[in-house]
Chain A
Amino acid sequence: MFLLNHLWIILALPLAGAAINGLFGKRWSQPAVNTVAVGSVTLAFLAVAELIREFSQLAADQIPHVGAYFTWMIAGPFRVDFALQVDQLTVVMLCVVSFVGMLIHIYSTGYMAHEGGYYRFFCYLNLFMFFMLTLVMGANLIVMFVGWEGVGLCSYLLIGFWFLKKSAADAGKKAFIVTRIGDFGFTVGILLVFATFHSVAFGDIFKQAAGMPVDGPSQMGVLTVICLLLFTGAIGKSAQLPLYVWLPDAMEGPTPVSALIHAATMVTAGVYMVARMNPLFSRSPIAMLAVAIVGAVTALYAATIGLVQTDIKKVLAYSTVSQLGYMFLACGVGAYTAGIFHLMTHAFFKGLLFLAAGSVIHAMGGEQDMMKMGGLRKKIPVTYWTMLIGTLAIAGIPGFAGFFSKDEILEAAQSGPHANLVLWLMGVIAAGLTSFYMFRLVFLTFFGEPRYDEHHVHVHESPKSMTIPLMILAFLSIFGGWVAAPHFAGGVDYFERFLTPVFSAYSPVSDAISAAPAEAAAASPAMDLLHALTGVPVIVGILGLLLAWWFYIKSPETPKRLAQSVRGLYTLLLNKYYVDEIYAALIVRPLLWISTNVLWHVVDEGIIDGTVNGTARVLRESGGKLRELQSGNARSYATWVVIGAVGFTVILFGLMMGVAR
Chain B
Amino acid sequence: MSVVPISWYLVLSAILFGLGAVAVVFKRNIITIFMSIELMLNAVNLAFVAFARAHGQLDGLVFVFFVIVVAAAEAAVGLAIVIMLAQNRESLNVERVNLLKL
A→B interface (CB under 8 Å): 630-635, 638-639, 642
Contacts and interface: CB of A to CB of B under 8 A. Distances in A.
Nearest to B98: A632
A630 B101 contact: yes
B102 A635 contact: no
Interface string B49-79: 0000000000000000000000000000000
Contact of A634 (B21, B26, B94): B94
B4 interface: no
Contacts of A630: 101-102
A631 to B, nearest CB: 6
Contacts of B94: 633-635
B95 A635 contact: yes
A191 B33 CA distance: 80
Contacts of A632: 97-101
A633 B24 contact: no
28 contacts: A630-B101, A630-B102, A631-B98, A632-B97, A632-B98, A632-B99, A632-B100, A632-B101, A633-B94, A633-B95, A633-B98, A634-B33, A634-B94, A634-B97, A635-B24, A635-B25, A635-B26, A635-B27, A635-B28, A635-B33, A635-B94, A635-B95, A638-B25, A638-B33, A639-B25, A642-B21, A642-B24, A642-B25
B9 to A, nearest CB: 19
A466 to B, nearest CB: 72
Contacts of B33: 634-635, 638
Contacts of A631: 98, 101
Contacts of A635: 24-28, 33, 94-95
Contacts of B95: 633, 635
The 6 lowest CB-CB distance pairs between A and B, nearest first, are A632-B101, A632-B98, A639-B25, A634-B94, A638-B24, A633-B98
Interface string B2-44: 0000000000000000000100111110000100000000000
A638 to B, nearest CB: 5
A336 B67 CA distance: 104
A15 to B, nearest CB: 57
Q: Give the interface size bracket for B toward A.
A: 10 to 19
A95 B69 CA distance: 100
B61 to A, nearest CB: 25
Nearest to B25: A639
Contacts of B98: 631-634
Contacts of B99: 632
Interface string B79-102: 000000000000000110111111
Contacts of B21: 642
B16 to A, nearest CB: 15
A505 B82 CA distance: 103
A642 B18 CA distance: 10
A638 B32 CA distance: 14
A661 to B, nearest CB: 22
Contacts of A638: 24-25, 33
Contacts of B26: 635
A630 to B, nearest CB: 5
A160 B14 CA distance: 86
A142 to B, nearest CB: 58
Given A630-B101, A639-B25, 14 more contacts: A632-B97, A632-B100, A632-B101, A633-B95, A633-B98, A634-B94, A634-B98, A635-B24, A635-B28, A635-B95, A638-B24, A638-B25, A642-B21, A642-B25
A630 B21 CA distance: 20
A165 to B, nearest CB: 54
A634 B24 CA distance: 10
A635 B36 CA distance: 13
Nearest to A640: B25
Nearest to A642: B21
B20 to A, nearest CB: 10
Contacts of B100: 632
B39 to A, nearest CB: 14
B52 to A, nearest CB: 22
A639 B101 CA distance: 16
A635 B100 CA distance: 13
A87 B40 CA distance: 98
A528 B90 CA distance: 122
A631 B102 CA distance: 9
Residue among B28, B97, B98 with the highest chain A CB neighbour number at 10 A: B98
Contacts of A639: 25
A610 to B, nearest CB: 31
A344 B101 CA distance: 81
A627 to B, nearest CB: 8
Nearest to A627: B102
Nearest to A633: B98
A633 B101 CA distance: 8
A653 to B, nearest CB: 13
Contacts of A642: 21, 24-25
A75 B100 CA distance: 60
Contacts of B25: 635, 638-639, 642
Contacts of B102: 630
Interface centre among A630, A631, A634 (most CB of B within 10 A): A634
Nearest to B30: A634
A631 B94 CA distance: 12
